[in-house]
Amino acid sequence: MLDQAFQALADPTRRAVVERLCDGPASVSELAQPFPMTLAAVVQHVQVLETAGLVTTQKIGRVRTVQVDPAGLRAAEAWLTARRTRVERQLDRLAALVERTPEPSTPEEE
Amino acid sequence: MLDQAFQALADPTRRAVVERLCDGPASVSELAQPFPMTLAAVVQHVQVLETAGLVTTQKIGRVRTVQVDPAGLRAAEAWLTARRTRVERQLDRLAALVERTPEPSTPEEE
Protein backbone atom coordinates (compact mmCIF):
# COMPACT_ATOMS: atom_id res chain seq x y z
CA MET A 1 0.00 0.00 0.00
CA LEU A 2 2.92 2.38 0.71
CA ASP A 3 4.17 1.76 -2.85
CA GLN A 4 0.87 3.02 -4.23
CA ALA A 5 0.48 5.84 -1.70
CA PHE A 6 3.91 7.35 -2.40
CA GLN A 7 3.46 6.75 -6.14
CA ALA A 8 0.11 8.53 -6.06
CA LEU A 9 1.57 11.50 -4.17
CA ALA A 10 4.47 11.87 -6.63
CA ASP A 11 2.13 13.63 -9.07
CA PRO A 12 1.51 17.37 -8.49
CA THR A 13 -2.07 17.22 -9.83
CA ARG A 14 -2.93 14.38 -7.47
CA ARG A 15 -1.39 16.30 -4.57
CA ALA A 16 -3.50 19.31 -5.61
CA VAL A 17 -6.62 17.08 -5.59
CA VAL A 18 -5.77 15.91 -2.05
CA GLU A 19 -5.13 19.55 -1.10
CA ARG A 20 -8.57 20.57 -2.39
CA LEU A 21 -10.25 17.67 -0.59
CA CYS A 22 -8.72 18.77 2.72
CA ASP A 23 -11.36 21.54 2.70
CA GLY A 24 -14.15 18.98 2.39
CA PRO A 25 -15.59 16.33 0.08
CA ALA A 26 -16.19 17.28 -3.56
CA SER A 27 -17.79 15.77 -6.62
CA VAL A 28 -15.53 14.71 -9.47
CA SER A 29 -16.73 17.64 -11.60
CA GLU A 30 -16.08 20.13 -8.76
CA LEU A 31 -12.59 18.65 -8.48
CA ALA A 32 -12.03 19.01 -12.21
CA GLN A 33 -12.90 22.74 -12.31
CA PRO A 34 -9.52 24.28 -11.41
CA PHE A 35 -7.53 21.93 -13.65
CA PRO A 36 -6.95 22.36 -17.39
CA MET A 37 -7.75 18.70 -18.08
CA THR A 38 -10.61 16.52 -19.11
CA LEU A 39 -13.06 15.04 -16.62
CA ALA A 40 -11.78 11.61 -17.68
CA ALA A 41 -8.24 12.54 -16.65
CA VAL A 42 -9.47 13.71 -13.25
CA VAL A 43 -11.43 10.47 -12.82
CA GLN A 44 -8.23 8.56 -13.52
CA HIS A 45 -6.29 10.57 -10.92
CA VAL A 46 -9.05 9.94 -8.40
CA GLN A 47 -8.89 6.21 -9.15
CA VAL A 48 -5.14 6.17 -8.51
CA LEU A 49 -5.69 7.97 -5.20
CA GLU A 50 -8.49 5.55 -4.28
CA THR A 51 -6.39 2.43 -5.07
CA ALA A 52 -3.64 3.94 -2.92
CA GLY A 53 -6.07 4.30 0.00
CA LEU A 54 -5.73 8.09 0.07
CA VAL A 55 -9.34 8.90 -0.87
CA THR A 56 -12.67 7.13 -0.78
CA THR A 57 -15.51 7.74 -3.22
CA GLN A 58 -19.23 7.27 -2.94
CA LYS A 59 -21.68 7.33 -5.81
CA ILE A 60 -25.14 8.66 -5.04
CA GLY A 61 -27.36 8.81 -8.11
CA ARG A 62 -25.21 10.24 -10.90
CA VAL A 63 -22.79 12.09 -8.64
CA ARG A 64 -19.56 10.54 -7.36
CA THR A 65 -18.31 12.30 -4.23
CA VAL A 66 -14.66 12.07 -3.26
CA GLN A 67 -13.19 12.55 0.21
CA VAL A 68 -9.76 12.16 1.75
CA ASP A 69 -9.17 9.02 3.81
CA PRO A 70 -7.04 10.31 6.70
CA ALA A 71 -5.87 6.73 7.41
CA GLY A 72 -4.05 6.64 4.08
CA LEU A 73 -2.25 9.92 4.77
CA ARG A 74 -1.45 8.69 8.28
CA ALA A 75 0.17 5.47 7.03
CA ALA A 76 2.56 7.29 4.69
CA GLU A 77 3.24 9.96 7.32
CA ALA A 78 3.96 7.32 10.00
CA TRP A 79 6.54 5.62 7.79
CA LEU A 80 8.36 8.93 7.32
CA THR A 81 8.09 10.02 10.97
CA ALA A 82 9.55 6.72 12.24
CA ARG A 83 12.55 6.92 9.87
CA ARG A 84 13.11 10.63 10.41
CA THR A 85 13.17 10.27 14.21
CA ARG A 86 15.57 7.30 13.93
CA VAL A 87 17.93 9.30 11.72
CA GLU A 88 17.82 12.28 14.04
CA ARG A 89 18.52 10.07 17.08
CA GLN A 90 21.43 8.50 15.23
CA LEU A 91 22.83 11.94 14.33
CA ASP A 92 22.43 13.08 17.97
CA ARG A 93 24.38 10.02 19.15
CA LEU A 94 27.08 10.77 16.60
CA ALA A 95 27.28 14.42 17.73
CA ALA A 96 27.54 13.31 21.39
CA LEU A 97 30.31 10.89 20.46
CA VAL A 98 32.27 13.60 18.67
CA GLU A 99 31.88 15.87 21.71
CA ARG A 100 33.19 13.20 24.09
CA THR A 101 36.19 12.39 21.91
CA PRO A 102 39.22 14.40 23.10
CA GLU A 103 40.67 16.63 20.41
CA PRO A 104 43.96 15.33 19.03
CA SER A 105 46.78 17.12 20.86
CA THR A 106 48.49 19.60 18.61
CA PRO A 107 52.05 20.66 19.25
CA GLU A 108 52.09 24.03 21.00
CA GLU A 109 53.21 26.89 18.90
CA GLU A 110 56.39 28.52 20.04
CA MET B 1 11.36 18.16 -5.03
CA LEU B 2 8.24 16.52 -3.49
CA ASP B 3 7.58 14.86 -6.87
CA GLN B 4 10.98 13.18 -6.73
CA ALA B 5 10.85 12.42 -3.00
CA PHE B 6 7.49 10.62 -3.18
CA GLN B 7 8.50 8.92 -6.44
CA ALA B 8 11.73 7.69 -4.83
CA LEU B 9 9.84 6.34 -1.80
CA ALA B 10 7.34 4.46 -3.97
CA ASP B 11 9.92 1.72 -4.53
CA PRO B 12 10.27 -0.93 -1.78
CA THR B 13 14.01 -1.43 -2.41
CA ARG B 14 14.65 2.29 -2.08
CA ARG B 15 12.60 2.37 1.15
CA ALA B 16 14.72 -0.58 2.40
CA VAL B 17 17.88 1.39 1.56
CA VAL B 18 16.59 4.39 3.55
CA GLU B 19 15.63 1.99 6.36
CA ARG B 20 19.18 0.54 6.44
CA LEU B 21 20.71 4.05 6.41
CA CYS B 22 18.65 5.03 9.46
CA ASP B 23 21.13 2.91 11.47
CA GLY B 24 24.05 4.91 10.13
CA PRO B 25 25.94 5.77 6.95
CA ALA B 26 27.02 2.90 4.72
CA SER B 27 29.14 2.40 1.63
CA VAL B 28 27.38 1.46 -1.59
CA SER B 29 28.76 -2.10 -1.40
CA GLU B 30 27.55 -2.46 2.22
CA LEU B 31 24.14 -1.27 1.07
CA ALA B 32 24.13 -3.79 -1.77
CA GLN B 33 24.81 -6.82 0.47
CA PRO B 34 21.27 -7.69 1.60
CA PHE B 35 19.76 -7.21 -1.87
CA PRO B 36 19.72 -9.78 -4.68
CA MET B 37 20.78 -7.21 -7.25
CA THR B 38 23.89 -5.91 -8.94
CA LEU B 39 25.99 -3.14 -7.46
CA ALA B 40 25.05 -1.05 -10.52
CA ALA B 41 21.35 -1.37 -9.67
CA VAL B 42 22.00 -0.24 -6.10
CA VAL B 43 24.05 2.71 -7.36
CA GLN B 44 21.07 3.69 -9.52
CA HIS B 45 18.66 3.51 -6.57
CA VAL B 46 21.05 5.63 -4.51
CA GLN B 47 21.19 8.20 -7.32
CA VAL B 48 17.39 8.41 -7.40
CA LEU B 49 17.35 8.94 -3.62
CA GLU B 50 20.10 11.57 -3.91
CA THR B 51 18.30 13.51 -6.67
CA ALA B 52 15.19 13.43 -4.47
CA GLY B 53 17.14 14.99 -1.58
CA LEU B 54 16.62 11.95 0.65
CA VAL B 55 20.27 10.93 0.91
CA THR B 56 23.65 12.55 0.43
CA THR B 57 26.77 10.76 -0.73
CA GLN B 58 30.43 11.49 -0.24
CA LYS B 59 33.28 9.85 -2.12
CA ILE B 60 36.52 9.41 -0.19
CA GLY B 61 39.15 7.59 -2.21
CA ARG B 62 37.40 4.71 -3.91
CA VAL B 63 34.55 4.42 -1.39
CA ARG B 64 31.26 6.25 -1.77
CA THR B 65 29.48 6.61 1.57
CA VAL B 66 25.72 7.20 1.66
CA GLN B 67 23.75 8.78 4.48
CA VAL B 68 20.16 9.85 4.97
CA ASP B 69 19.42 13.56 4.68
CA PRO B 70 16.81 14.13 7.39
CA ALA B 71 15.72 17.37 5.69
CA GLY B 72 14.42 15.38 2.72
CA LEU B 73 12.39 13.07 4.94
CA ARG B 74 11.13 16.09 6.89
CA ALA B 75 9.87 17.87 3.76
CA ALA B 76 7.77 14.91 2.62
CA GLU B 77 6.58 14.28 6.18
CA ALA B 78 5.61 17.95 6.65
CA TRP B 79 3.46 17.88 3.51
CA LEU B 80 1.56 14.85 4.81
CA THR B 81 1.25 16.14 8.39
CA ALA B 82 -0.21 19.47 7.25
CA ARG B 83 -2.85 17.77 5.05
CA ARG B 84 -3.66 15.06 7.58
CA THR B 85 -4.26 17.59 10.38
CA ARG B 86 -6.44 19.72 8.04
CA VAL B 87 -8.56 16.68 7.12
CA GLU B 88 -8.93 15.65 10.75
CA ARG B 89 -9.94 19.17 11.75
CA GLN B 90 -12.48 19.24 8.92
CA LEU B 91 -13.89 15.86 10.02
CA ASP B 92 -14.09 17.10 13.65
CA ARG B 93 -16.03 20.19 12.50
CA LEU B 94 -18.38 17.94 10.52
CA ALA B 95 -18.93 15.67 13.53
CA ALA B 96 -19.66 18.70 15.75
CA LEU B 97 -22.14 20.00 13.16
CA VAL B 98 -23.95 16.67 13.05
CA GLU B 99 -24.11 16.67 16.87
CA ARG B 100 -25.61 20.18 17.00
CA THR B 101 -28.22 19.42 14.34
CA PRO B 102 -31.50 18.42 16.03
CA GLU B 103 -32.73 15.01 14.99
CA PRO B 104 -35.73 15.10 12.65
CA SER B 105 -38.85 14.70 14.76
CA THR B 106 -40.47 11.35 14.15
CA PRO B 107 -44.16 10.79 14.76
CA GLU B 108 -44.63 9.12 18.13
CA GLU B 109 -45.63 5.52 17.97
CA GLU B 110 -49.03 4.76 19.39
Name the CA radius of gyration of chain A, rounded: 23
CA distance A47 to chain B (A): 17
Give the mean model confidence (pLDDT) for residues A36-43: 92
* Chain B contact set for A80 (CB, 8 A): 9, 73, 76-77, 80
Average pLDDT, chain A: 92
Give the mean model confidence (pLDDT) for residues B44-68: 96
* Chain B contact set for A15 (CB, 8 A): 2, 79
Q: Is A18 on the interface with B (CB under 8 A)?
A: yes
Q: Is B16 on the interface with A (CB under 8 A)?
A: no
- Closest residue in B to A20 (Cα) is B83
User: Predicted confidence band at A106 (pLDDT cuts at 50, 70, 90)?
Assistant: low
- Closest residue in A to B83 (Cα) is A22
Give the mean model confidence (pLDDT) for residues B69-77: 96
Nearest to B67 by CA among A91, A43, A47, A79: A91
Side chain identity at residue B63, one-letter code: V
Helix (H) or strand (E) holding A76: helix A70-100
Check residue A102 and give its pLDDT: 79
Q: Is B109 on the interface with A (CB under 8 A)?
A: no
pLDDT at residue B96 tops 80: yes
User: Predicted confidence band at B101 (pLDDT cuts at 50, 70, 90)?
Assistant: confident
CA distance A63 to chain B (A): 21
